[in-house]
Amino acid sequence: MPPRPAAGLVLPAALLAVLAATAPAAPAEEVKGRVVVLGFDGADHRLVSQMIAEGKLPNLAKLAREGSFSPLRPTIPAQTPVSWSTFSTGLSPGRTLIFDFLKRDPKTYRPEFAIVSEGKKGFLLGRGNRAGAAAAGALLAFLLVFLIGRLVLKRTKPAALVALGLALPAAFFSYRFGGLLPESLQTVVNHRQGTPFWEVAGKNGIRSVVLHVPVTFPAVDYDEGRLLSGLGVPDLRGRIGTPSYYTSDPFFAPKNKNEFSVELIRLESNVGTIRTEVFGPYNKLFPEPPVIKTPMTLTVLPDGGRLRIEPEGSDPVTIKPGEWSPWVTFTFAFNPVVKLTGIGRFHLARIAPEIELYLSPIHFNPVDLPPNVKITAPRGLAKSLAKRFGLYKTAGWSIDTWSMSEETIDEPTFLDDVTHTVQQYRKMMDGLLAEKDVRLYIQVYEFTDRVGHVMWRFLDPTHPMYDAEKAAKFGPSVERNYRQMDEIVGDAQKELGPDDLLLVCSDHGFASWRRSINYNTWLARNGYLGMKGGEEKLADLEQLFSQGEFWPNVDWSRTKAYSMGLGEIYVNLRGREAQGTVEPGAEYDAVRSEIKAGLMALVDEATGRRPVERVYFREEAYPSFDANVIPDIFVTNSDGYRVGWQATLGVVTPELYEENRQVWSGDHCSVDPDVVPGILFSSRPLRTTPRPGMADVPATIYKALGLTPPEPLDGAPLF
């Protein structure tokens, strides 16, 4: 795919003719019927425009003719949690405080997850659980035995003596039982600020359903509503998603270094019965063991063409090479009292010459959730959805892209998983959208984004990972998924009447990621980031979870600025950062201006192109912000470039630029919003000039529902 122009927004002439074929009716403001919003993460405006012009998206073309279609400018930066947080609240990222996947702690300079943070709360009596259990057991035994003895013996004193004698052993056993109870439970706090528009709708008596909107975990109960959380829900291990790969090949090694985790389990044999285990949650309830595992037996059946899989406590499943298992339930026992169940699916790549078995990330079991994991509002909705539509993935990042990056699964396996995931969520939509008393319906699909990330290399012959043979086979998968998006829109259109409003939008589009740039390397080379001696170490997301080491060789006393996250730069400001060196005022302004000028002047000698599209000071990006949280500078890339993975975690790499030789080949995260516009369709005409941005969508929904926002919004209604 040739590089797209920065504007990238001009509709093809054929598309203009299609849209002009039918004159739209005059717009109404408040909608009498239902308001339905379908979000497709990462749906790219240029690709959608091209496919409409080619007649490949008939339902979206009809929507454009009868209503409107325009590019939708993402937030700065153009990232999933950032844009969807603005969608939910109508507030800019400066006010939602969701401006990246990562943020930094100014006291330690460590990266942290920006969306949620973990904490702890006492369970029952906390450290007093043993003593409390002993006292309760002794009292209960005493009262029970005393009452029975009093009735039998007809005398108080002997009954009391017998009861007292039995209360002491009851206290002992209860004390031991109390030791099986955790002293605390994990808690999760969502850092997004602002009130979602569906909560305001509920307070005004409008019934709603909200499915898979990112940054809605933990789920919050609200009036007249049902909600299933999206991106932000972890897998059972507390990670974004940790798949497992079982192999008997002693020489197997993952193909690429990936900042995400794939659990590699080596099998001792490739014949007969093999004993192994399934890795479960990290143990945050008790001192030992660090990871809870459950035993599993694999048996190569005598015919040599089937594998029987038997996790302890679960029904066995038998699959052939190329097959997926049904959902398998795993039970992870912390001790005889505390247990946790999860669900996952196996895919068998081959049995011979070596076993290659994939296990998906393990999801929380929606019919048996732990008390501290709230993925739905109300809580019971998780189970009722499973009973109505079948088991489903609960992790927010539900499609496994990291196994593709490690090449522990191939393209057909990945696409099978995409199909399975989308079918389940379409089934939910078809059932819930048919409920006519639901006036507000919102659902976000992620598959358009996930397919784009790992398949974009097949659309761009200039990409380092382009393979002509594979491109012929798998390149059409991107188009197939856009056609699937069109089918989903068609399903929704069938359920809607003339008084209803349908909005279809995406949070951003896509660009080819051919080259990486590392801003910390540039800052170090230009004297803004002071370095000590020693070798810089690679970092990955596991260090975030395990509190590993970051910035091992940085000399903060000689540092004026540093980069963290997907394109953000922080000034090492005195009084804000723990070891700040830059004075507020004139020096702060000078440092920012110097960095901006230097980055804007960069030219990649290997390509002759400028990797930086724009540099925004935070006051240029957001109308208001928290100065202690929001980065000082946002750097956005031109088409073909993105911040490198190591750069996001603060590493100073040896080279400023690197070729992207990973399967993860398409992106948007640090790309300039004008290079990766999303889409906005409406079944009614909308005002599309000036060009709409994501904050305008919730403002339009408020207007359609006849509601007043609880605070001033950063967008305007498009009616």
Segment 447-451 shows an average pLDDT of: 97
H or E element that contains 544: helix 541-546
What's the pLDDT band for 127 if we cut at 50, 70, 90?
A: confident
Segment 139-151 shows an average pLDDT of: 68
Q: Note the pLDDT of residue 130.
A: 77
- Chain centroid offset of residue 453 CA: 14
What's the pLDDT band for 24 if we cut at 50, 70, 90?
A: very low
Q: Note the pLDDT of residue 12.
A: 42
Q: What is the SS3 assignment for 165-215?
A: HHHHHHHHHHHHHHCCCCCEEEEEEECCCCCCHHHHHHHCCCCEEEECCCC
pLDDT in tens, 339-352: 999 999 999 999 99
- Whether residue 49 contacts residue 515, with contact meaning beta carbons closer than 8 Å, is answered with no
| DSSP-based three-state secondary structure for 683 | coil
Segment 512-520 shows an average pLDDT of: 96
Count the Cβ atoms, other than its own, within 10 Å of residue 425.
Answer: 22
Tell me the two tokens of residue 174: 């209860």
Reference 230, options 89, 439, 376; nearest CA is 376
Burial of 157 (0-12, 13-18, 19+ CB in 10 A): exposed
Q: Which amino acid is at 134?
A: A
Q: Which amino acid is at 467?
A: D
Segment 552-563 shows an average pLDDT of: 92
Q: Note the pLDDT of residue 6.
A: 34
pLDDT in tens, 519-553: 999 999 999 999 887 655 555 545 444 555 678 78
Alpha helices in 560-690 (DSSP H): 586-600, 618-621, 645-648
Reference 338, options 131, 177, 542; nearest CA is 177
- Whether residue 493 contacts residue 61, with contact meaning beta carbons closer than 8 Å, is answered with no
Q: Note the pLDDT of residue 163.
A: 59
In the DSSP assignment, the letter for residue 435 is -
What's the pLDDT band for 119 if we cut at 50, 70, 90?
A: confident
What's the pLDDT band for 22 if we cut at 50, 70, 90?
A: very low
Segment 556-564 shows an average pLDDT of: 95
Q: Note the pLDDT of residue 4.
A: 41
H or E element that contains 621: helix 618-621
**What is the distance between the alpha carbons of residues 444 and 439, in angstroms, rounded to a whole number?**
17
Q: Note the pLDDT of residue 17.
A: 38
Ramachandran assignment for 153, one of left (phi > 0), alpha (psi -120 to 50 degrees), beta (any other): alpha
Residues with Cβ within 8 Å of 310's Cβ and at least 6 positions away in sequence, in order, are: 296, 297, 298, 299, 316
What's the pLDDT band for 306 if we cut at 50, 70, 90?
A: very high
**What is the distance between the alpha carbons of residues 696 and 325, in angstroms, rounded to a whole number?**
44
Tell me the two tokens of residue 97: 């405080």
Q: What is the pTM of this model?
A: 0.91
Q: Note the pLDDT of residue 13.
A: 38
Q: Which amino acid is at 7?
A: A
More confident residue, 286 or 486: 486
pLDDT in tens, 207-230: 999 999 999 999 999 999 999 999
Count the Cβ atoms, other than its own, within 10 Å of residue 557.
Answer: 9
Q: Note the pLDDT of residue 404.
A: 87
Q: Note the pLDDT of residue 11.
A: 40
**What is the distance between the alpha carbons of residues 19 and 7, in angstroms, rounded to a whole number?**
20
CA atoms within 13 A of residue 175's CA, in its CB half-sphere: 10
**What is the distance between the alpha carbons of residues 630 and 651, in angstroms, rounded to a whole number?**
20
Q: Note the pLDDT of residue 160.
A: 64
What's the pLDDT band for 26 if we cut at 50, 70, 90?
A: very low
Q: Note the pLDDT of residue 180.
A: 72
Question: How do beta strands 678-682 and 68-72 pair?
Answer: antiparallel
Sign of CA dihedral 363, 364, 365, 367: negative
**What is the distance between the alpha carbons of residues 498 and 145, in angstroms, rounded to a whole number?**
72
pLDDT in tens, 615-640: 999 999 999 999 999 999 999 999 99
- Whether residue 587 contacts residue 55, with contact meaning beta carbons closer than 8 Å, is answered with no
| DSSP-based three-state secondary structure for 40 | strand
DSSP, residue by residue, 340-390: EEEEE-EEEEE-SSS-EEEEPPPEE-TTS--TT---EESTTHHHHHHHHH-
- Whether residue 184 contacts residue 123, with contact meaning beta carbons closer than 8 Å, is answered with yes
**What is the greatest pairwise CA distance in the chain?**
101
Whether the per-residue pLDDT at 439 is higher than 60: the answer is yes
What's the pLDDT band for 500 if we cut at 50, 70, 90?
A: very high
Q: What is the SS3 assignment for 21-35?
A: CCCCCCCCCCCCCCE
Q: Note the pLDDT of residue 460.
A: 96
Q: Walk me through the domains of the chain, giving residue ranges and CATH numbers.
A: 1-98+192-233+420-510+672-719 (3.40.720.10), 129-181 (no CATH), 519-655 (no CATH)
Q: Please identify which residue in the block is written with the tokens 């002993």.
A: 134
Sign of CA dihedral 506, 511, 512, 515: negative
**What is the distance between the alpha carbons of residues 280 and 362, in angstroms, rounded to a whole number?**
8
Reference 106, options 630, 651, 643; nearest CA is 630
pLDDT in tens, 349-398: 999 999 999 999 999 999 999 998 999 999 999 999 999 999 999 999 99
Burial of 686 (0-12, 13-18, 19+ CB in 10 A): buried
Whether the per-residue pLDDT at 23 is higher than 60: the answer is no
Reference 88, options 188, 220, 193, 164; nearest CA is 193
> Strand locations in 506-611, DSSP E?
511-517, 561-564, 568-571
Cis before 27 (ω within 30): no
Q: Note the pLDDT of residue 123.
A: 77
Q: Note the pLDDT of residue 27.
A: 42
Q: Note the pLDDT of residue 175.
A: 65
**What is the distance between the alpha carbons of residues 696 and 3, in angstroms, rounded to a whole number?**
29
What's the pLDDT band for 257 if we cut at 50, 70, 90?
A: low
Helices 58-66 & 13-20, crossing angle to 10 degrees? Answer: 60
More confident residue, 122 or 84: 84
pLDDT in tens, 158-190: 666 665 677 677 667 766 766 777 877 888 899
Q: Note the pLDDT of residue 1.
A: 40
Whether the per-residue pLDDT at 141 is higher than 80: the answer is no
- Whether residue 238 contacts residue 222, with contact meaning beta carbons closer than 8 Å, is answered with no
Q: Note the pLDDT of residue 118.
A: 84
Segment 71-91 shows an average pLDDT of: 97
Q: Note the pLDDT of residue 154.
A: 63
- Whether residue 6 contacts residue 638, with contact meaning beta carbons closer than 8 Å, is answered with yes
- Whether residue 264 contacts residue 249, with contact meaning beta carbons closer than 8 Å, is answered with no
**What is the distance between the alpha carbons of residues 357 and 645, in angstroms, rounded to a whole number?**
28
**What is the distance between the alpha carbons of residues 578 and 562, in angstroms, rounded to a whole number?**
13
Count the Cβ atoms, other than its own, within 10 Å of residue 250.
Answer: 9
What's the pLDDT band for 7 if we cut at 50, 70, 90?
A: very low
Q: Note the pLDDT of residue 285.
A: 84
| DSSP-based three-state secondary structure for 69 | strand
